[in-house]
Structure 1
Amino acid sequence: MNRIVHGDNLEVLQSIASESIQLIYVDPPFNTGKRQSRPQMKTIRDDAGDRTGFGGRRYRTEILKQQPGGQGYTDTFDDFLGFLRPRLLEAHRILTPTGSLFFHIDYREVHYCKILLDVIFTRPCFQNEIIWAYDYGARSTKRWPAKHDNILWYTKQPDLFTFNLTATDRIPYMAPGLVGAKKAARGKTPTDVWWHTIVSPTGKEKTGYATQKPLGILERIVRVHSNPGDTVLDFFAGSGTTAEAAAKHNRSFIMVDQNPDAIAVMQKRLAAYTKPRPSQRKSPPKLKKSVKKSTPRKARLSSKK
């Protein structure tokens, strides 16, 4: 069931069977009015270099030559909501009765997007606004630096959805001395504010694709809001972080993107999860074919902390 699709995401969404996808995460362009790209660099051992590495060794940074346009995309829309609306209507149609949509955006557009989603999903199906907070990058001297993104969580139904809080990772208490040694060692479940660093520019997780999101954020969403065997969809797939999170936790994935750079990054990153096994069909099934539905169950609205 694992698929990477290069094409117009609206056409792909229209080909997917109704009520066949258990979890959708999308990180659409943020309509920043800029070109989103990230230069490719390499470091060379040089005692007169511009950076210090392990053991105090010095290295020189060189920017690699890129093809025109580079690895990125133009993030400008004349009618951003008009672009999103038909895609979100299709997302609502293909979600299972217990399914969830996670819509990742920033402070510039979140209030407009929430109104649009309230109309499509209805306001009772809005469950949370999650704040992903990080502390990296330049500091403005003219206003408070923007160091967070907004993730809106909507469900197909207002009170019947998948929410496996016991499957989440746990985080440290900010004041461990107030809760005792046992609780402090176990940690606590996250709230609607998720402190998580960005993808390290020099770390192994980095693919080089602009706007790549951390695997830890997507793993939390996948573990809590889907079940093993479910299908996870991302139709602004970018570097494929959603797919890796899904595959690591025994979920199937469908990744869609129109950018050939994104497709190339995903094919390399997800090769281990997309190669056919001997017992599998050589040709993947068409998208119109329904995927397996999960058994509806009542959401657990509270859990032991």
Structure 2
Amino acid sequence: MLNRIYFGDNLAIMKSLPAESVDLIYIDPPFNTGKVQARTRIHTVRSAENGDRTGFGGQRYVTIRVGSSAYVDAFDDYLAFLEPRLLEAYRLLKPDGSLYFHIDYREVHYCKVLLDGIFGRESFINEIIWAYDYGGKPRSRWPAKHDNILFYAKNPRHFTFNVEAIDREPYLAPGLVGAEKAARGKLPTDVWWHTIVGTNSREKTGYPTQKPLGVIDRIIRASSNPGDLVLDFFAGSGTVGESCLKQGRRFILIDNNPAALEVMRQRFAGVNEVEWLDWNGR
């Protein structure tokens, strides 16, 4: 089948998909911060007379606002919103499939209890900590510089985990392990140090909560095989789709935010293997 990108309510779309048809699910749902998440994209043009900022070599530039992306990240009952979607996720996973649930410190404890109830506590494999060091640092508490990724297997005794396909990291003390091991590197632990998508990064799409391709690549390499089907039903900027295209997996992406669909249309422009489906306009 072609890769699919759906515009519409993820719950209704998931209910239309066949049971046990998906090999891997990664989701990065809204974190329920109560804030409007937004990013504004700008373009600068050199202007000695009207410039509002100074650039390289002291040149003056005028700033032009070219667009923005935003969504409201707040729910009156966050777990009630998630539960039917996670029940559908469980139904859609193949018997050897896995779910990676990306969340932050505000909600992770409640979400784990919810997932334990759906998958079973024995199906909880890992809590991955994605650590970064970017942004403001409050002086009244320890700065929060990590996200949590909960890893569940539908069958904890039989699930895909390609340990040899995982990218390796340098040893902190290579002199203690010998030249051969040092050259090969070590497997990552459950703490992943990876920068966020920087303002000037080539990855940057302008979507507010875009996650780094390196983090998604690691998950997809480890927990799926070439030709497998990967689902992201909070697709956002479409990073899961880009990773799948690069690594020979198929994908289904779902989002109900017009700004997300616009970002994905730009991201996948020229890709012929994508079917665009407007569920709202059925």
Does structure 2 retain, via aligned residues, the 8 Å contact 1:10–1:87?
yes
What is the letter of the counterpart of residue 177 of structure 2? V
In 1, the alpha carbon distance for the partners of 2:232 and 2:244 equals 11
In 2, the alpha carbon distance for the partners of 1:99 and 1:156 equals 6
What is the letter of the counterpart of residue 238 of structure 1? G
2:209 aligns to what? Answer: 211
Q: Structure 1 residues 187, 121: CA separation in 2 closer, same or farther (over 3 Å shift)? A: same
2:3 aligns to what? Answer: 2
What's the CA shift string for 1:168-224, capped at 9, x where partnerless?
A: 111111122222232222211111000000001111110001100000000001111
1:14 aligns to what? Answer: 15
Paired residues, number? 275
In 1, the alpha carbon distance for the partners of 2:209 and 2:120 equals 29
Q: Structure 1 residues 176, 60: CA separation in 2 closer, same or farther (over 3 Å shift)? A: farther
Give how far 1:61 is off. Answer: 6.8
What is the letter of the counterpart of residue 77 of structure 1? F
**Root-mean-square deviation (CA), in Å?**
2.1
In 2, the alpha carbon distance for the partners of 1:59 and 1:20 equals 56
* 123-132 or 56-65, which deviates more: 56-65
In 1, the alpha carbon distance for the partners of 2:202 and 2:276 equals 32
Does structure 1 retain, via aligned residues, the 8 Å contact 2:23–2:228?
yes
In 1, the alpha carbon distance for the partners of 2:266 and 2:276 equals 19
- Greater share of residues in strand: 2
In 2, the alpha carbon distance for the partners of 1:203 and 1:17 equals 38
What's the CA shift string for 1:125-159, capped at 9, x where partnerless?
A: 00000000011111111111100000000011111
What is the letter of the counterpart of residue 229 of structure 2? T
What's the CA shift string for 1:84-116, capped at 9, x where partnerless?
A: 000000000010000000000000000000000
What's the CA shift string for 1:254-284, capped at 9, x where partnerless?
A: 00000011111112212344447xxxxx999
Q: Identify the match of residue 255 of structure 1 among 250, 253, 256.
A: 253
Q: Structure 1 residues 57, 33: CA separation in 2 closer, same or farther (over 3 Å shift)? A: same
Q: Structure 1 residues 59, 31: CA separation in 2 closer, same or farther (over 3 Å shift)? A: farther
Give unmatched runs, 5+ long, in structure 2.
Answer: none
Q: Structure 1 residues 227, 260: CA separation in 2 closer, same or farther (over 3 Å shift)? A: same
1:136 aligns to what? Answer: 134
What is the letter of the counterpart of residue 15 of structure 1? S
1:227 aligns to what? Answer: 225
Give how far 1:8 is off. Answer: 0.2
In 1, the alpha carbon distance for the partners of 2:108 and 2:64 equals 34
In 2, the alpha carbon distance for the partners of 1:127 and 1:51 equals 50
In 1, the alpha carbon distance for the partners of 2:75 and 2:267 equals 29
Does structure 2 retain, via aligned residues, the 8 Å contact 1:49–1:58?
no
Asked if 1:245 corresponds to 2:243, the answer is yes
Asked if 1:88 corresponds to 2:95, the answer is no
1:125 aligns to what? Answer: 123
Asked if 1:164 corresponds to 2:162, the answer is yes
2:32 aligns to what? Answer: 31
2:63 aligns to what? Answer: 62
1:187 aligns to what? Answer: 185
TM-score (norm 1): 0.85
In 2, the alpha carbon distance for the partners of 1:198 and 1:61 equals 28
Does structure 1 retain, via aligned residues, the 8 Å contact 2:53–2:63?
no
What secondary structure, in the 3-state scheme, does the structure 1 residue paired with 2:259 have?
Answer: helix
Does structure 2 retain, via aligned residues, the 8 Å contact 1:103–1:152?
yes
Q: Structure 1 residues 40, 207: CA separation in 2 closer, same or farther (over 3 Å shift)? A: same
